[in-house]
Amino acid sequence: MKGLLFTYCLTYGGAFASLCRPMVGLVIYILFAIIKPEHLWTWSLPSHGQFSRIIAISLVAGWLLQGGGGSSLGRSRLIVWSFAAFWAWSIVSAIFAPDWVRSWLFIETIGKILLPFCVGMALIKSVNDLRVLAWTIVLGHGFLALEFNRYWFSGYNFIKEVGFAGMEEGSIAIGMVTASGLAFQLGLMEVLWWRKLVAFGCTGLIVHVVLFSFSRGGMIALIVAGIASLVVLPRRPMSYAVLAAVAALTFAAAGPEVRARFATAFADQQGRDASAQSRLDLWKNCIQVMAENPVFGIGPYHFPTIAESFGWKRGKEAHTLWLQIGAELGVVGLGLLLTFYGGCVARVFPYAMGWKRCEDPWIACLARGVVTSTIGFAVAAQFISLWSLEVPYYVVLIGAGLLKIESLESPGLRPGEMPLVT
């Protein structure tokens, strides 16, 4: 009953509020993309409640009522245009693909992410807007992690036995890894003790979900995200102490079963299990397909249709986002997606490291969160073909948003003018 009231109040109340303040609609849309209320509260909500669609319509309507458009993209232009070009290239690739229905599923799904992303870029006007988006991502994943942990401590591994919203445990682990960097950085930056407690509490819950997912890719990505956090961490003893405490607690929470599972990721060919070996074979298949179809690929979401030709069962995913995108959309499509994520990391990295000074310390904090979360996602995505996961796109939205704000606030820079330093 609580889930029903929560969802309907946010949907219809948020839809009304979005007409006047479309930023409210963006926050709710991102939250729904994370918690997926119709899957979280299946017993009280219809499976096709169209909650996100209602919010999306009101979000766009509110944005148009306010005149549409927005301020200059500044140094975020490369990121936004590479995302738009990636979606457009999927349409071009689909023209040459044999199964339009499968292609359209990919095009529609990415389009549903691209639209709020672009509207969000137009709506973002201040650092506070970015903080709200970051907290939305962290609280959404923290709430999901709390639910999954409740099942775990009651003796039932829900994400492994049932999954969530059509995702198995490895896919769930990717989302959690992607949120972990932002959660940790918010905990370091917040001043009020209760906000720190909430942020670090979410961090602990999120990390624990990755551990009991028993996803080797998720665990490796979590370690890499931790290393990235160490690199960008502010040079303060307290920051290092907090990171060390989180690392120690993570190691302590990883029981013998988790450690044994993680160790198999580095087994030699003779000791490698069938799951690990199959991933390597699938990666080789993707590289072969990419070499044979370098420009347009075989079509969006089409690798499962040719898996049989390599000896796999029909419908088999490649278990690697990057190589599967390369096989399906060619080198051009893969290059555009890598530019989207890599361009964001490269451009916010100087802010994360403190090489570029900014008046608002939250810019550096959010930059550190974007860098660590995106790097964690990039590593985890090498082990799962999850192109429809929305949270990494919205993490990049925060990075692109801070670049836009910093570009427009640079000394001597007029609206619509690009900064001299690139």
Instruction: Note whether residue 193 is domain-resident.
Output: yes
pLDDT digits (tens, 9 = 90+) for 238-287: 888 888 888 887 777 766 666 666 566 555 555 455 667 888 899 999 99
Please indicate, yes or no, whether residues 48 and 76 belong to a single structural domain of this protein: no
Instruction: Note whether residue 419 is domain-resident.
Output: no
Range of the domain at 60: 1-68
The pLDDT assigned to 71 comes to 64
Q: Are 7 and 41 in contact (CB under 8 A)?
A: yes
11-20, 118-127, 412-421: which range is least confident on average?
A: 412-421
Among 33, 68, 103, residue at a domain's last position: 68
d(CA 226, CA 97): 40
Please indicate, yes or no, whether residues 51 and 111 belong to a single structural domain of this protein: no
d(CA 147, CA 119): 31
CB atoms within 10 A of CB 361: 12
The pLDDT assigned to 164 comes to 92
pLDDT digits (tens, 9 = 90+) for 362-407: 999 999 999 999 999 999 999 988 889 999 999 999 999 999 998 7
Instruction: Note whether residue 187 is domain-resident.
Output: yes
For residue 413, what is the DSSP state?
A: P
pLDDT of residue 320 exceeding 70: yes
The pLDDT assigned to 262 comes to 59
Instruction: Note whether residue 345 is domain-resident.
Output: yes
Total count of domains within the chain = 2
pTM: 0.91
Among 46, 68, 90, residue at a domain's last position: 68
Please indicate, yes or no, whether residues 61 and 178 belong to a single structural domain of this protein: no
CB atoms within 10 A of CB 158: 18
d(CA 235, CA 262): 31
pLDDT digits (tens, 9 = 90+) for 146-188: 999 999 999 999 999 999 988 999 899 999 999 999 999 999 9
The pLDDT assigned to 364 comes to 94
Among 41, 68, 95, residue at a domain's last position: 68
Mean pLDDT of the chain: 89
User: Residue for token digits 């003779």?
Assistant: 270
Instruction: Note whether residue 375 is domain-resident.
Output: yes
Please indicate, yes or no, whether residues 75 and 51 belong to a single structural domain of this protein: no
Please indicate, yes or no, whether residues 143 and 226 belong to a single structural domain of this protein: yes
Please indicate, yes or no, whether residues 33 and 103 belong to a single structural domain of this protein: no
Please indicate, yes or no, whether residues 235 and 201 belong to a single structural domain of this protein: yes
Instruction: Note whether residue 281 is domain-resident.
Output: no
Six token digits for residue 261:
């599972």
Which amino acid would we find at residue 225? A
Please indicate, yes or no, whether residues 49 and 18 belong to a single structural domain of this protein: yes
Confidence of residue 414 (pLDDT cuts 50, 70, 90): very low
Instruction: Note whether residue 414 is domain-resident.
Output: no
Is residue 142 left, alpha or beta, with left meaning phi > 0 and alpha meaning psi from -120 to 50?
Answer: alpha
Give, in degrees to the nearest 5, the angle at Cα 398 between 143 and 15. 65
Instruction: Note whether residue 120 is domain-resident.
Output: yes
Q: Which residues, 6 or more positions from 371, have their beta carbon under 8 angstroms from its beta carbon?
A: 181, 228, 232, 345, 348, 349, 352
